[in-house]
Structure 1
Amino acid sequence: MKNLPSHTQQLLPDIRAPHPLNWLTLANQQRYRILILILSDLIALAGAWLIARYWNQFYSPIPPELDWWNWLGLPSLFWIFGAVTLIFFGYGGLYSASLRNQNYIRSAKIISLVYLLSLVVSYFYDPKLDPPRSLFFTAWVSSVVMVLGFRLLITLIFGQIYTKQKEVSVFVIASASRLKKLSQILQKRSCYKIVGAALASTANSPATLRAILQSEAVEVLAEDLPQTALASTLYWNLRRAGVALRLLPSSREILYRRGVPEIFAGLPTLRVQTSSMVGWDYRVKRGLDCLGALIGIILLSPLFLGVAILIQLSSPGSVFFCQERIGLHGKVFQMWKFRTMVPNAAQLQAQLEAQNESGDGVLFKIKNDPRIIRFGHFLRKSSIDELPQLFNVLIGQMSLVGPRPLPLRDVERFEEWHHIRHQVLPGITGLWQISGRSDIEDFSDAARLDLYYIDNWSLNLDLDILVETVRIVLFGKGAY
C-alpha cells in the first residue's frame, strides 16, 4: 500500500465494507430461498396469532388502546411483532443464502426476546395497561412452535432440492501435501466441481484472489492458512465478492472459536470459559432422547409388526439381530436391529473378508453382500432395520444422535486417536450418516466427522442432524 499515491488510497474502500451489488450477485436460487424463508416465517407467525386470537376470544379481547388497525384480518399488534421479529432474524443471520444449517434454537431465542421486550415497552407505554395474558402466552408459545416447524419443513424440502441442483464450483487452497487428497475427496462427490487450486502459503496474495474470481468459484475450501498479524485479507476479499469461505479447522482453531475476546495486560486475547449452566443442555438432550424414543416406539409399533412378518416370510430365524457394539468409554453393550441377513451371517463374514470394499479395512462393507435376505435390501436402504435401537436409547445405552457404535471387529483395527469418539454416548444417527454414509471409504474421514460433532455439539446441531437424517432416509442415499 505504501507504493500507492495518497489520493488512490483514499478512493479504496474499507475491506470490510459491503459490496454494493451483494444482493444482485446472489444466484436466483439463493434469492428465492431467502424470500421463501422470510415468507414462511411470516406465515408461521400469522398462524400463531390466529391460533392465539381464537383461544383468546374465550377470555378477554385486545384492549382498544393496543388495537390501532386491522389488515388482512390480523390486528396491528401482530404486524408490529412480525416486523420486529423478521428484522431481528435478519440481524441474527437467519436469512443467509444457505439453508443447510438453519439455527433453530436461535430462532426460538429471538422470538422469546421480542415477546419479553414487548412487556417492557408496554409498561413504559402505559403502566396501567394490562395486555391479555392468554393472548400473550398463547401467541408466544405458538410462534415458537410454528416458526420452528415451518423452518424444519423448509430445510427438509430445500435440502432435497439442493442435492439436485447443478455442481458447486469450488476453489481449493491447501498445502502441497494435502491438495491432491482434498481434490480426490471432492471429485468423488458429483455435486462439486474443482475450478482451481492454490498453495496455502499464497492464500492472501493478490494473484490468488484474481485466480479465485476468474475461476467464478462459488466457494473456497481452505486448510492450513498462514498466520497473519491482522485480519485475513483472503476472508474479507471473498466476503466482499460474495464468495463463501470454508475452513477445515484444526483443534487450535476450535478453541479459538470458543474464546471470548478480551484485552489482557494490553494484549488481545481469547478467554475460554465454561458456562454457568454447564450440563443442563445435556440433561435436556437426554430428556428429549427418552421422550423421542418412547413416542417413536409407540407410533411405530404397527410398522414393527409388519417388518417382523416380512422377515419371517423371507428367512427362518429370529426377527431381531443382536450384536455386541462398543459404546460409551469403550463399554460393550448389545445393540438391536431387525435381521436383514441369514442367521449365520457372522460366521460367513470371515470368508468374505477378502471382498471387503472399505478403503482402509477398518469397516466391513460389500455393496452386493450375498448374506442379505429377501426384503433385507429394502430394510437397509430405508434404515428401517435400525429402528429397534430406540429401545437402546430408552434404556440409556445410546442416544438419538451421536457417533455410530461399531462392532468389536472394527474397533480392534482403530488407530489410537479414533477412540476419542467413545467419549460420548453413541447414537442411531450422526454426522457420519448424513455426510455420505456408506459412500465414505476411509474410516479416518468418518472419525473426523465424529470428532467435529463432539467439539461442536449443541442441541441445535442435533436437531439439524435429525432433520437431514429424515431427508436422507426418505430418499435412501448412501445406504446398502
Structure 2
Amino acid sequence: MKKLPSQTSRFIADIRAPHRFRWLHLANQPWYRISILLLSDLFAIGGAWLMAVYFNQFYSPLPPELVWWVWLGMPSLFWVFSAIILIFFAYGGLYSPSPSSQNYIRTAKVITLVYLLSLVFSYFYDPKLDPPRSLFFTAWISSVILVMGFRLIITLIFGQIQPKNSKVKVFLIANASRLKKLSQVMEKRSYYKIVGAALASTANSPTTLQAIMRSGAIEVLAEDLPQTALASTLYWNLRRGGIALRLLPSSREILYRRGIPEIFAGLPTLRVQTSVLVGWDYRFKRCLDIIGSLLGIIVLCPLFLGVAIAIQLSSPGPVFFRQERIGLHGKVFQMWKFRTMVTNAHKLQAELEGQNESEDGVLFKIKKDPRIIPIGHFLRKSSIDELPQLFNVLIGQMSLVGPRPLPLRDVERFEEWHHIRHQVLPGITGLWQISGRSDIEDFSDAARLDLYYIDNWSLNLDLDILVETVRIVVFGKGAY
C-alpha cells in the first residue's frame, strides 16, 4: 500500500492527542508571578475554610473519618482540596502569562468542579458518610468568592508592576495588508511583544508552525485564516504545543461560536439558541450596576465635596456639567460630569473646530484645549470628572461597562453602521477606554471595539474591563 505523504515509519499520534505532560510554560515564567498567584489562591481557599469551620461549629463537626491529620491548624481535607484545585488551575493555564489566566469565571468553574467531584468520591469512599452540608456549601461558595476577589486585586497589581522583559509573546497571522496595522496596534500595548508573523495563506503550512514553535510565542493572533478541509488544523497543532489561538472574528464567526453541533436531516449543523436562563446574566449585570454605583456614591462622598470646593476656587460657575448624550436606542439623556472647562466652552468649540486633531472629525479632541480650567487638567487626567455618572448608572440611564455615550455633535457625523453601538446601554467605561482612550484617532476603530464588546459580552468581560479601567485611572494613562 502506498504511504500517505505525511506518514513515516514512526507512530503518528492523533492530532488531538497532547504531547507529554507539561505545565503550560510554567518553567519559563517569572517565579514571583507564579508564587504570588499560588499564595493568593491558597490564602483565599484557606480563608474560605476558616469561615466554613467557624459557621459549621454551630451545626455539626467534620466527621472523624475525614480528618486524617491536622497541619498548621487546618484539617487534612483542606490540604487535599487545595492541592487538587491548584493542580487544576495550573493545568488549565490559570498561572500562565497569557491574559487567559485572568478568566475569573473559569476559576469559579474549576472550584465548583472539584467540590462536585468530591461528592461523587465521598459516596464511593463510604456511602454512609454524610459530610456536613453547612461546611460543604459555605466552603464552596466562599472559595469561589475569595479566589475571584483575590485574583482581581492581584491582576490589578500585576498590571502595573509587570517588568518590561516579561511581556506576553505573540505571533501574528494575517493578510499582508493587515499585518502592519495589527503590529502597530500591538506595539502600543505594554503587555505584548511581537515575536513573529506569517501570511494568512500559509497559516496551516509546516513552515509557519515551526516558526511559531521556534519563536517562543505564548499566543497566536490570527485573522482571515484560509479555508481548508480541516478548519481547526491550526488550533489542534497549537493546542498540542500549549499555545493559545486568538481569532479576530467576523460576525459570521461569532454566530458559529454560539452554535451547538447537531445532526439535522443527516447533515452536520450548528443550532444557535438562547440559554436556559435567558436574560438572567443581564439582570445580574444590572444588579451589579445598582450596588456598585450606590456604594461608589456613598464611599466617594468626601471626594465629591473636595472636588466641588476645588472647582469653585479654580473657576466661577457651577460644579457640575450636564450635557445631552445619545443613549440606548438613540434616546437623548443628560449625562453628569464635574465641570472641567469654562462656562461658555460649548460656544467656543465652534471656533476651535479647525484645530480638531481627530482624523475623521467624528470626535472633537485637542490635547491643549484652551477651554480647560486649571483644576480641569487634573480631573480629566485622573478621570475623576466622570464619577458623577454613577448617578446616571443608578437611575438606569447608563451601566458601569458599555459603549461610551457621545454628544449629539459627534453622533451627527456617524456612518450608518456606527449606530449599532446604541443597541445596548452606554457605560462609564468600555473596551474603547481601556484600549487607548484618547490615543485612538479614528472613530471607526473605537466603534469596532464597541461592536466586539456587544458580540462577545459576558460578565467575565465586564470584570476584565473594570479591573483594567481602575489600573488606567489610577495611573492616568491615555486621557487629556
Is TM more than 0.5 here? yes
The letter for the 1-side match of 2:174 is: A
In 1, the alpha carbon distance for the partners of 2:418 and 2:180 equals 23
The aligned length equals 479
- Given that 1:22 and 1:241 are in contact with CA atoms closer than 8 Å, whether structure 2 keeps it comes out as no
Residue 252 of structure 1: aligned partner: 252
1:416/1:24 Cα in 2 relative to 1: closer, same or farther (>3 Å)?
A: closer
Structure 1 pair 163–250 and aligned structure 2 pair: CA distance change class (3 A): farther
Deviation at 1:415, TM superposition (A): 1.0
Identity among equivalent pairs (%): 81
2:312 is aligned with 1:315? no
**1:391 alignment partner in structure 2:** 391
- Give CA-to-partner distance per residue, 1:434-459, whole Å, 9 cap, x none: 11111111111111111111111111
Cα deviations by residue, 1:399-442 (Å, 9 ceiling, x for unpaired) = 01111101111111111111111000000111111111111111
Matching residue's letter, 1:344: N
Counterpart amino acid of residue 377 in structure 2: H
Q: Structure 1 residues 209, 136: CA separation in 2 closer, same or farther (over 3 Å shift)?
A: closer
Deviation of 1:25 after TM superposition, in Å, equals 5.3
Q: Deviations over 1:48-68 (max 9, x none)?
A: 112222343454432323222
The aligned counterpart of 1:33 is 33
**Match for 1:418: what amino acid?**
H
The CA deviation at 1:391 is 0.4
Looking at structure 1, the residues matched to 391 and 331 of structure 2 have their Cα atoms a distance apart, in angstroms, of: 18
- Is the counterpart of residue 54 in structure 1 residue 23 in structure 2? no
Question: Does 1:331 find its partner at 2:326?
Answer: no
The residue correspondences of 1:5-20 to structure 2 (distance < 5 A) are: 8-20=8-20
Counterpart residue number, 1:276: 276
C-alpha distance in structure 1 between counterparts of 2:342 and 2:348, whole Å: 9
Change in Cα spacing, 1:54 to 1:137, as seen in structure 2 (3 Å) is: same
- CA contact 2:356–2:366 (8 Å) conserved in 1: yes
> Which residue identity lines up with residue 376 of structure 1 in the other structure?
G
SS at match of 2:273: coil
* Cα distance change of structure 1 residues 365 and 267 upon mapping to structure 2, 3 Å threshold: same
| 1:36-95 deviation per Cα after TM superposition (whole angstroms, max 9, x unaligned) | 423321221112112222343454432323222112211022123223333444555534
Does residue 414 (structure 1) correspond to residue 418 (structure 2)? The answer is: no
Conservation of the 8 A alpha-carbon contact between 1:320 and 1:338? yes
> How do 1:23-422 residues align onto structure 2 when only pairs under 5 Å count?
23=23, 28-29=28-29, 33-90=33-90, 92-99=92-99, 102-122=102-122, 125-126=125-126, 128-162=128-162, 164-165=164-165, 170-189=170-189, 192=192, 194-213=194-213, 217=217, 219-422=219-422
Give yes or no for contact 1:324–1:408 (8 Å, CA) kept in 2.
yes
In structure 1, C-alpha distance between the alignment counterparts of 2:212 and 2:116, rounded to whole Å: 46
Matched residue of 1:309: which SS?
Answer: helix
**Partner of 1:471 in structure 2?**
471
Report which stretch shifted further, 307-316 or 233-242: 233-242
* TM-score normalized by the length of structure 2: 0.90
Q: Say which SS state the counterpart of residue 325 (structure 1) adopts.
A: strand
User: What's the offset of the Cα at 1:255?
Assistant: 1.1
Alpha-carbon spacing, 1:312–1:165, altered in 2? closer, same or farther (3 Å): farther
Q: Distance in 2 between matches of 1:439 and 1:123?
A: 58
Label 1:63 to 1:191 Cα distance change in 2 as closer, same or farther (>3 A): closer
| Offset at residue 97 of structure 1 (A) | 3.6
Separation of aligned partners in 2, 1:114 and 1:167 = 32
Q: What secondary structure does 1:147 align onto?
A: helix
Q: Which amino acid aligns with 1:331?
A: K
The range that moved more, 316-325 or 161-170, is 161-170
Change (3 A) 1:120 1:106: same
Larger deviation: 67-76 or 383-392?
67-76
Distance 1:148 1:209, change over 3 A: closer
Deviates more, 1:269-278 or 1:402-411: 269-278
- Which secondary structure does the structure 2 equivalent of 1:10 belong to? coil
Q: Would the aligned equivalents of 2:26 and 2:96 in 1 still touch at CA under 8 Å?
A: no
